[in-house]
A and B are shown apart, each in its own frame.
Chain A
Amino acid sequence: MSPEPQATQYLDELVQGDGSAAERLMPLVYTELQRIAGHYLRRENKGHTLQPTALVHEAFLKIVDQTRVDWKGRAHFLAVCAQAMRRILVDHARTRNRKKRGGGRARVTLDEHLTFSLDREDDVLAVDEALDKLTELNERHARVVELRFFAGLDVAEVAEVLGVSKRTVEADWTLVKAWLRREFSPDDGA
């Protein structure tokens, strides 16, 4: 399989500063990620958890000419991937939930020690909603969550994608984590 020359080209343009290239790259990434993720979403691999990082890397290998893409290009690619993953997973979760409950959805609450998992549709939808809210408060903070949760990136990678220091991402992440916990804490109906 040969990488898509288009994807690499868009990525090049994206690195050069052409923001619209991200929109052109998106469908390619989306299609590929959906294809790869479908495998997991169908629960064909029992006992496997969804590994966003693996999927994103697989997509990278599949559609980008790696020899022509530098580190920075990769960061842009990861950012696009995170958005694509979010859309795929949210779409999938919606379909599932509609099927299961005819559209209704139980509200996710979070005990202090519980966590969100990509494997649970309700978590995906809850995080997605919370992200919409967070985007209004601070877009970068929302991106941090998006990259962490939907693309499985670590702090260093997030910093690289957003072009800020690791310290900044760490500070953002601490706040956002507290905020998310607060948002979903059972006692606080906010």
Chain B
Amino acid sequence: MSTSSWERIQELFSGARELPAGERAAWLQQHTDGDAELLREVTDLLAHDLAEPIFETPQRLPTALAPIAPQPRDSATVELLLGLKAHRTTLIVLGLSIVVLMVVGMSTRSLMQQEITDSLREQLKTVRNLAALSLQDWLEDERLVLSRAASDPELPHVAQALTELSSSVGDDALRREAIQGFQDAARSMPDSAILRLDLAANRQDHDGWALISREGLLLASGELIAGEQRRNGPGDHIHPDNMPLVSRAFLGEGLFVPPRHNLAAQQTGAKPYMAMLEPVRRSDGVVVAALAFILDPAGRFTSTLTEARMGTSGETYAFDADGLMLSNSLFEAQLTGLGLLPDGLESALNLRVGDPEGNLLTGFQPDALPRDFKLTAAVRRARDERAPGLDFEGYRDYRGVTVVGAWTWLDELGFGLVTEIDRDEAHAPLVHLTQAFVILLGLVALGVAGVLIAVGKAAHLASAIDRVLRLGQYQLVEVLGQGGMGTVYRAEHALLQRSVAIKVVRRTRGDNENALRIEREVTMASRLTHANTIEVYDCGHEANGDLYYVMEYLDGLTVHELVSGAGPLPAARVVHLLRQAVSSLREAHRMGLVHRDIKPANLMVCERGGIPDVVKVLDFGLVKDISADAIDEGVTRHLSGTPLYMAPERLRNQPVDGRADLFALGATGFVMLTGRQAHAGTTPAEMAAAVLHDEPSSPGRYAPHPVPKELDELIVALLAPDREDRPADADAVLKLLDQVSGPTWTEDDAHAFWEAQGARLRQAASTRRLAIQAEL
């Protein structure tokens, strides 16, 4: 298929795709001009034309190459805390909502308060109005009965007859006798005005009736009449004080007499009474007598007032213009106890509704005598204003207790009514409401305070964690190791999500010299570019002055771990590994850098780019600059490293050069071949002594695998106590390694090894690392 026909294919393919499936075949037939192969090709391709993707496209990163923004992506806690920080706006909104909530709450509260107040005021008024209306209805009813009785057509004649009879008899006793006789005679008749009056007055509340002459003479009376009857029977004169009432009746006026003491029987303790009077007229309209019905104040009058009451402390009572209570108080027991009411007397007509100016129930001692008390606000206002009124703010009642009340003055009846309830009880719903709101506001305030504190702490904690877990663009993930100089972490680049190793070197207070030294080392280490040297990407300072540097993250095993787990290595593999380590050192040595800490734990064997057994020389953190001006400083004060891998000249504090690294590499090679140290010793001092004084032994003697003579000699040469006896430099070592006879270690060998043992070795190494970390 040629290029040109391919282009033709594309033309036809694209053209056919534009068409509905049914029309394609015909269209292609027409456009291929009989080229059967072309037709088949295009048809075939169209048959494989599917919309589905053919390549698995993994989730893509954002394609825009934006500047790297630091973004923590690691710990859920950090994310949560940072989330709080990021949601500052939300929190402000939350705060505003709370304020709005509080305002709404407050206005709701005041609305509810208003509602409750209104409802209570209505309740007070209703109770008061109910009492007033019931009283008026009842009295109206009584009045009708009375006026019907007074208009009995026989009654004027009876009255006149009795008046004439009484005036004709001068002697009191004879007069009484005559009138009584008349009355008795009338009652003995089957139907008489006297009997009809008895009948009309014989109602539950009535104490009796009386027919009174202009002169105040009792012309006739019902049997039930109380005190008057005992002292003042028919034919007697009524008490002079009652004469004005009789005179008013004779003026043609029907009238109501509110409860009053039985004046005639005051000393005997007779019960009070109330009365209604109606004139009795002759057919010519002349008033010939006054008819009175006597009512019991303890009856219907009292029950009407007590019918409707509020709560437990609510009462309705009547009072007259002098402020004398006309009905009974709810608190008679209290009043007796307080001395306001003489023992055994009821409050009606015996209690003055005065204001003691202080709460007597709580032990208040009034200055004035009870009879000199000012009347209570309700009574005073009712009497003075003669109009309905209400006080919901509160005033003192006759006990000195603050009450709320509604009052009215019943002008036609000549007394007032007041409905009162203790303010504490009336206002209880308001108090509860207020309490509820105070509690609610308190809780909201606590909540807000809690949220604010939490947010503050969270932000603080978040920034603290942020500081701790973040270095530049790197997010620390785990601790890989810890040592005298600092800590090594595994970290991830914030954007690239690539693992790196970060070594944080603690800055010792005041040790500027040391800090400078380490910085210089890092600078130099970062110049190393050899593939077998761990790469330094980046370095920087933390806020506290600690230095950190970022290296490539290697997930391999150190030679130490490898030999510990797999035992001594075959000579070919040792050559393979040593060659890489030496070539890494060669670059460093040429730049004038000595590693100074070559040891099995600082050589990592890893897989890079699919190639196994790649050596990376780690920890150039101790690398020394051996160029002329730095020698003095380097050798003396900083004796660090493992004695077993220290060249004798280092142990002697003599200047070192690259050959010290070669010695250490020899000792490492010895370990690789034999699984044991080149020099014996259990304490650092013993080890140092062995290094200084013992002749190096031949690894071949201890190695389980055959060691070619050339390699054996090379190791011994590298371990020479006098550096002049060692190979001159890394180049020389490389040449000697090339001369080692025997099999070579191939990539396939390495693959085979790792496939067989890799998992077990990694497992063992990670367990060991965890154990070490646990100890730290």
Residue numbers in A under 8 Å from B1 (CB-CB): 137
A149 vs B47: C-alpha distance when bound (angstroms): 22
- Cα A53 to Cα B65 with chains together (Å): 11
- B61–A177 CB distance below 8 A: no
Chain B residues within an 8 Å CB radius of A36: 498
A117 and B56 alpha carbons, distance in the complex (Å): 5
* Contact yes or no, B607 A42, CB < 8 A: yes
Contact of B60 with A152 in the complex, beta carbons under 8 Å: yes
Q: Does A137 lie within 8 Å of B608, measured CB to CB? A: no
Contact code string A147-190 (vs B, CB < 8 Å = 1, else 0): 01100101001000000000000011011011111100100100
Nearest CB in chain A: distance from B13 CB, A: 5
- Say yes or no: is B204 at the interface (Cβ < 8 Å to chain A): no
Using CB atoms, name the residue of chain B closest to A188: B44
Comparing A13-21, A56-64, A79-87, the segment that makes contact with chain B is A56-64
CB within 8 Å of A: which B1-38 residues: 1, 3, 6-7, 9-10, 13-14, 17
Contact of A137 among B6, B49, B537 (CB under 8 A): B6
Cβ contact within 8 Å between B610 and A175:
no
B7 touches A99 (CB 8 A): no
Query: At the interface, yes or no: A107 with Cβ under 8 Å from chain B?
Result: no
Residue on B nearest A95 in the bound complex, by CB: B610
A178 B48 Cβ-Cβ under 8 A: yes
Is B46 interfacial (CB-CB < 8 Å)?
yes
Contact with A along B47-65 (1 / 0, CB 8 A): 1111011111111110101
Q: Which residue of A lies closest to B5 (CB)?
A: A137
Specify which chain B residues have a CB less than 8 angstroms from the CB of A137 in the assembled complex. Answer: 1, 3, 6
Contact check: which of B6, B13, B14 meets A138 at CB < 8 Å? Answer: B6
B496 proximal to A (CB < 8 A): yes
B486 to chain A, nearest CB (A): 21
CA distance A91 to B609 in the complex (A): 10
Contacts of A112 in B (CB 8 A): 48, 50
Q: Smallest distance from the beta carbon of B40 to chain A beta carbons, Å?
A: 11
Of chain B, the residue at the smallest CB distance from A149 is B55
Q: Is B185 an interface residue (CB 8 A)?
A: no
**A39-B498, A95-B610, A115-B54 in contact; A182/B45 too (CB < 8 A)?**
yes
Contact status of A116 and B499, CB under 8 A, knowing A95-B610, A137-B6: no
Compute the total of residue contacts between A and B using a CB distance below 8 Å: 120
Given A61-B68, A149-B55, A152-B58, A39 contacting B50 (CB threshold 8 A): no
- Mark B252-263 against chain A: 1 for CB-CB distance below 8 A, else 0: 000000000000
Instruction: Report chain A residues within 8 Å CB of B49.
Output: 174, 177-178
Known contacts A57-B61, A174-B49; decide if A34 and B609 are in contact (CB<8 Å).
yes
Q: A74 near B58 (CB under 8 angstroms)?
A: no
B538 & A1 in contact (Cβ 8 Å cutoff): yes
Return chain B residues, CB-CB under 8 Å to A60. Answer: 65
Q: A53-B63, A138-B7 are in contact. Are A35 and B609 (CB under 8 A)?
A: yes
B499 A53 Cβ-Cβ under 8 A: no
Partner among B3, B53, B61, B63 whose Cβ is within 8 Å of the Cβ of A115: B53
The answer to whether the Cβ of A38 comes within 8 Å of any Cβ in the partner chain is yes
Within the complex, which residue of A50, A172, A178 is in contact with B46, where a contact is CB–CB below 8 Å?
Answer: A178
Which residue of chain A has its CB nearest to the CB of B13?
A: A175
User: Could you tell me if A92 and B610 are in contact, using CB atoms closer than 8 angstroms?
Assistant: yes
Out of A50, A61, A138, name the residue touching B58 (CB < 8 Å): A50
For chain B residues 59-97, which have a beta carbon within 8 Å of chain A?
59-61, 63, 65, 68
Q: Please give the distance in Å from B136's CB to the nearest CB on chain A.
A: 95
- Tell me how far the C-beta of B10 lies from the nearest C-beta in chain A, rounded to whole angstroms: 5
How close is A143's CB to chain B, nearest CB, in angstroms? 14
- Contact: A44 with B53, CB < 8 Å? no
B517 at the interface (CB under 8 A from A): no
Contact in complex: B59, A51 (CB < 8 Å): yes
Roughly how many angstroms separate A178 CA and B226 CA in the complex, as a whole number? 127
What's the minimum C-beta distance from A130 to chain B, rounded to whole angstroms?
A: 11
Whether B271 sits at the interface, judged by CB under 8 Å, is no
- Measured in the bound complex, the distance between the Cα atoms of B53 and A91 in whole Å is 25
* Interface contact B498-A58, CB-CB below 8 Å: yes
B507 contacts the other chain (CB 8 A): no
- A66 lies within 8 A of chain B by Cβ: yes
When chains A and B are docked, how far (Å) is the Cα of A58 from the Cα of B538? Answer: 15
> A6 an interface residue at 8 Å Cβ cutoff?
no
Docked complex: B202-239 residues within 8 A CB-CB of A: none
Interchain nearest-CB distance for B457 vs A (Å): 36
CB atoms of A58 and B496 under 8 A apart: yes
Q: Which of A99-140 contact B (CB under 8 A)?
A: 99, 112-113, 115-119, 136-138
Measured CB to CB, the closest approach of chain A to B700, in angstroms, equals 32
The distance from the CB of A188 to the nearest CB of chain B, in whole angstroms, is: 8
Residues of A within 8 A of B60 (CB): 51, 53-54, 152, 154
For residue A24, CB closer than 8 A to chain B, the reply is no
CB atoms of A148 and B65 under 8 A apart: no
- Mask, B487-502, CB within 8 Å of A = 1, is 0000000011111000
Which residues of chain B have C-beta atoms less than 8 A from A175's C-beta?
A: 9-10, 13-14, 45
Q: Assess the B65–A38 pair: CB atoms within 8 A.
A: no
Measured in the bound complex, the distance between the Cα atoms of B609 and A37 in whole Å is 7
How far apart are B543's CB and chain A's nearest CB, in angstroms?
Answer: 22
Alpha-carbon gap, A92 to B495, bound state (A): 26
Task: Determine the chain A residues whose CB is within 8 A of the CB of B45 once the complex forms.
Answer: 175, 178-179, 182
Tell which of B9, B54, B555 touches A177, judged by Cβ atoms closer than 8 Å.
B54
- Residues of B close to A113: CB separation below 8 A: 52
- In the complex the two chains form, is B52's CB within 8 Å of A38's CB? no
Q: How far is the CB of A3 from chain B (nearest CB, A)?
A: 12
Question: Which A residues are in CB contact (< 8 Å) with B53?
Answer: 115
Q: How far is the CA of A121 from the CA of B684 in the complex (A)?
A: 51
Is B751 interfacial (CB-CB < 8 Å)?
yes
Q: Is the CB of A178 within 8 A of B13?
A: yes
With a cutoff of 8 Å between Cβ atoms, the chain A residues found around residue B241 in the complex are none
> In the complex, which of the residues B17, B47, B55, B495 has the most CB atoms of chain A within 10 Å of its own CB atom?
B55
| B55 engages A115 (CB within 8 Å) | yes
Q: Are A57 and B65 in contact (CB under 8 A)?
A: yes
Query: What's the least CB distance linking B761 to chain A, in Å?
Result: 15
B775 located at the interface, meaning its Cβ lies under 8 Å from any Cβ of chain A in the complex? no
> Which residues of B lie under 8 Å from residue A51 when comparing CB positions?
58-61
Residue of B nearest to A171 (CB): B14
User: Is A26 close to B, CB under 8 A?
Assistant: no
A52 CA / B499 CA spacing, docked (Å):
17
Roughly how many angstroms separate A74 CA and B53 CA in the complex, as a whole number? 25
Q: In the complex the two chains form, what is the Cα distance from A158 to B291 in whole Å?
A: 124
B748 sits at the interface (CB 8 A): yes
Say yes or no: is A28 at the interface (Cβ < 8 Å to chain B): no
Could you tell me the distance between the alpha carbons of A175 and B499 in the complex, rounded to whole angstroms? 40
Query: Which of the residues A58, A138, A181 comes within 8 Å of B3, measured between beta carbons?
Result: A138
Whether the pair A116, B55 counts as a contact (CB closer than 8 A) is: yes
Closest to B56 in A: A117
Nearest first, the 10 closest Cβ-Cβ pairs linking A and B are A181-B48, A38-B609, A117-B56, A137-B6, A178-B49, A49-B58, A178-B48, A182-B48, A178-B45, A1-B537
Known: A118-B56, A119-B56. 16 other contacts (CB 8 A): A36-B498, A49-B56, A51-B59, A52-B58, A53-B63, A54-B61, A57-B61, A58-B496, A61-B496, A74-B65, A95-B610, A115-B52, A138-B3, A175-B45, A178-B49, A185-B48
Q: List 20 A-B contacts (CB under 8 A).
A: A36-B498, A37-B609, A39-B498, A51-B59, A53-B58, A53-B63, A92-B609, A112-B50, A113-B52, A116-B56, A119-B56, A137-B6, A152-B57, A154-B63, A174-B13, A177-B50, A178-B45, A178-B49, A180-B54, A182-B47
